[in-house]
Structure 1
C-alpha cells in the first residue's frame, strides 16, 4: 500500500482571503497580494481562489469583515529585487 500525503502537507500553499467589500462585491485576495479579483458572487470568488491556489480549499479563509481589493501591494521578493 502506497501512502500519499494530503496536498496541504506536500506543497506549501498560500492563504487566500475572500469576503465582501463595502459595495457588496465579493473579493478574493492572496495574503501577500500576488493575485486577486472582484466577483459578483461568493461561488465565483471561491472558484477563482481554488484555481489560483492549486485547489487547496483548506487555505481559503472567508472573512466576516469588509475586505477591499488592494492591488497596490507588491510581493516581498519583487520589492527586494527592485531595492537592490
Structure 2
C-alpha cells in the first residue's frame, strides 16, 4: 500500500494560477523555483516534479499570479552575482 506523507513544513507549497497574459504559472511559495506554462497540466506536472510529488502541497489560486523569481534572498544573491559578472 502506497502512502503519501504530508510535507514536513510549508517548504513544498507551490502555487498554480494564471498571469495577466493568460499563461499558467507554477511558483514555489518562497521563490526558489517557478515557471511559465502553456497549460495547467504542464504547470502541475512541473510543480509535482519540483516539490517531490506532494500533490497536497499544490495550491490553485483564483487571482492573477505573476512569476516572481526575485522574491527569495538566495535568488536575489544569485541575480546580483550574475549581474556583476556580466558587467
TM category (shorter chain) comes to 0.7 to 0.9
After superposition, where does 1:11-50 map in structure 2 within 5 Å?
A: 11-12=8-9, 13-50=11-48
Task: Provide the rounded CA distance (Å) in 1 between the counterparts of 2:42 and 2:57.
Answer: 16
Q: How far does the alpha carbon of each residue in 1:15-58 deviate from its partner, in whole angstroms, 9 at most, with x for none?
A: 10000001000000000000000000000000000000010100
TM-score normalised by the chain length of structure 1: 0.77
Instruction: Quote how far apart the aligned CAs of 1:5 are.
Output: 6.3
> 1:69 aligned to 67, 70, 77, which one?
67
SS at match of 2:47: helix
Aligned counterparts of 2:67 and 2:55: Cα–Cα separation in 1? 20
Structure 1: runs of 5 or more not aligned? none
Aligned length: 74
SS in 2 for 1:46: helix
Gaps of 5+ in 2: 78-87
Give TM-score scaled by structure 2 length. 0.75
What RMSD, in angstroms, separates the aligned Cα atoms of the two structures? 2.3
Higher percent of residues as helix: 2
The list of structure 1 runs, each at least 4 consecutive aligned residues, that deviate by more than 3 angstroms after superposition, is: none
